[in-house]
Amino acid sequence: MTADLKPAAAGETVRVELEDRAYDIVIGPNVLARLGTLVATLAPGARLAIVTDSMVGALHADALREAVAGKAEIASVITVPPGESSKCFAELERVVGELLDARVERGDILVAFGGGVVGDLAGFAAAVLRRGIRYVQVPTSLLAQVDSSVGGKTGIDTAHGKNLVGAFHQPALVVADTGLLDTLSPREFRAGYAEVAKYGLIDDAEFFGWLEENWQDVFAGGPARIHAIATSCRSKARVVAADEREGGQRALLNLGHTFGHAIETAAGFDGTLVHGEAIAIGIVLAHGFSARLGLCDPAVEGRVEAHLSAVGLPTRTSHIKADMPDADGMLELIRQDKKVERGALTFVLTEGIGKALVKKDVDAATVRDFLAERLKT
Ligand SMILES: NC(=O)c1ccc[n+]([C@@H]2O[C@H](COP(=O)([O-])OP(=O)(O)OC[C@H]3O[C@@H](n4cnc5c(N)ncnc54)[C@H](O)[C@@H]3O)[C@@H](O)[C@H]2O)c1
Ligand SMILES: O=C(O)C(=O)C[C@@H](O)[C@H](O)[C@H](O)COP(=O)(O)O
Ligand SMILES: [Zn+2]
């Protein structure tokens, strides 16, 4: 462990600079204990409505109750089933109904206590309830701590694809207690790691190199893990502050997602393939496709795949399902991507490690031919 990681061991606060909607991401071990004080400062007298999933609730709801005891009243605790299938209209309707039953008011605060599924669903409920109430993200998975709790993308999936119904609604605060990750399954930790590696691949080759050297320490916990989470949050906060609604450079955070979301949708939202795993495959495909278009050296894909595969992530569709749609079927799913403009495809591609770029007007037939080849591997 290098000496420069020591200050981060105690944690760090990252600011998302968004003028009157700026907020802090408080990162570190035991920061959950500060939640009551932080919320009472943010909104004195506000009641809290907690949204969680049954896995996180069973493990950590008591700690959350303790953290807010005497500081803020809990109006309601709403529990959804764990997993991607909860990001749907039916669960949204149920959550909103329970919030209204509890007479949660505009001045109250919703607390999204869970992984990215709870964060996206609860954030969307907060965006639409009484035309918008404030919410606090308390992310409990690695993926949620490094990505989904920051930036205000909220929403649900439909049969047409991922995140197709939603809203931009920034949280008022993010409290990422890194100690909560100790109960996360190795599979879910690995899935979140795909989004950590993504930040290095977008624009920070040094961070990617550091991950290649130190990923085992990140998995083990301690200062390296906190360093990886804080570095990821700083990176995302910078991009979101510069382009909140994805008019331009925020699309870089979608590296691996055009292929990845299509693969995740094709696999069904049943847990066969979780988001981070689909993104790992999508990241490898994005690098391979960049090489195919002559944007980068083919060796780059090999380096990326070697790292993701070393940590235990899937990197090929054949690892997952025998009955994936064919290349035409995948292309149809890709056409639902939110970056499509006037029917033309946009991909986040790369010129090398840490050199991602947004490429518009990508030829659909070239994508189909590339996929036809790759879906066999
Ligand atoms: N809004 C965004 O910017 C953004 C960014 C990335 C991903 N996402 C979305 O996030 C979702 C994926 O998030 P995820 O990977 O956190 O999945 P998730 O919310 O399904 O959590 C993964 C699993 O881990 C469990 N879990 C969470 N925290 C735990 C803990 N501390 N201990 C034990 N178990 C725990 C959950 O119950 C669940 O079973 C996807 O829907 C994806 O689209 C959104
Ligand atoms: O915050 C962003 O912007 C991202 O693209 C982060 C992604 O990791 C995340 O999966 C996001 O939900 C994808 O957004 P979408 O707009 O492509 O649905
Ligand atoms: Zn993602």
Average pLDDT value over all residues in the chain: 96
Q: How far is CA 207 from CA 43, 198, 203, 276, in A?
A: 37, 10, 9, 19
Model confidence pTM above 0.90: yes
- CB–CB of 211/363 below 8 Å? no
Secondary structure (3-state) at 73: coil
Summarize pLDDT for 185-237 with one digit per residue, the tens: 999 999 999 999 999 999 999 999 999 999 999 999 999 999 999 999 999 99
Domains of the chain: 3-183 (3.40.50.1970), 191-374 (1.20.1090.10)
What's the first-to-final CA gap in the chain, in angstroms?
37
Looking at residue 324, its pLDDT comes to: 84
- CB–CB of 261/278 below 8 Å? yes
81 C-alpha to ligand 3 centroid (Å): 20
Q: What is the DSSP string of 229-291?
A: HHHHHHHHHHHHHH-TT-SSGGGGGGTTHHHHHHHHHHH-SSSSS-HHHHHHHHHHHHHHHHH
- Of all protein residues, whose CA lies closest to atom 4 belonging to ligand 2? 253
| Atom nearest to 198 CA in ligand 2 | 8
Rounded average pLDDT over 74-97: 98
* Largest interatomic CA distance in the chain: 61
103 CB neighbour count, 10 Å cutoff: 10
* Res 322 pLDDT > 70: no
153 C-alpha to ligand 2 centroid (Å): 7
- CB–CB of 176/229 below 8 Å? yes
- CB–CB of 104/134 below 8 Å? no
pLDDT band, very low/low/confident/very high, at 3 (cuts 50, 70, 90): very low
| Atom nearest to 151 CA in ligand 2 | 1
Residues belonging to the binding site for NAD(+) are 116-120, 140-141, 153, 162
Summarize pLDDT for 243-297 with one digit per residue, the tens: 999 999 999 999 999 999 999 999 999 999 999 999 999 999 999 999 999 999 9
| Atom nearest to 120 CA in ligand 2 | 12
Between 36 and 4, name the one with better pLDDT.
36
Distance CA 1, CA 8 (A): 12
Looking at residue 317, its pLDDT comes to: 85
Separation of CA 245 from chain center: 16
Residue 87 Cβ contacting ligand 1 at under 6 Å: yes
Residue type, 143: L
pLDDT band, very low/low/confident/very high, at 44 (cuts 50, 70, 90): very high
Summarize pLDDT for 145-197 with one digit per residue, the tens: 999 999 999 999 999 999 999 999 999 999 999 999 999 999 999 999 999 99
Residue 184 Cβ contacting ligand 1 at under 6 Å: yes
274 C-alpha to ligand 1 centroid (Å): 9
- CB–CB of 31/59 below 8 Å? no
- Of all protein residues, whose CA lies closest to atom 6 belonging to ligand 2? 253
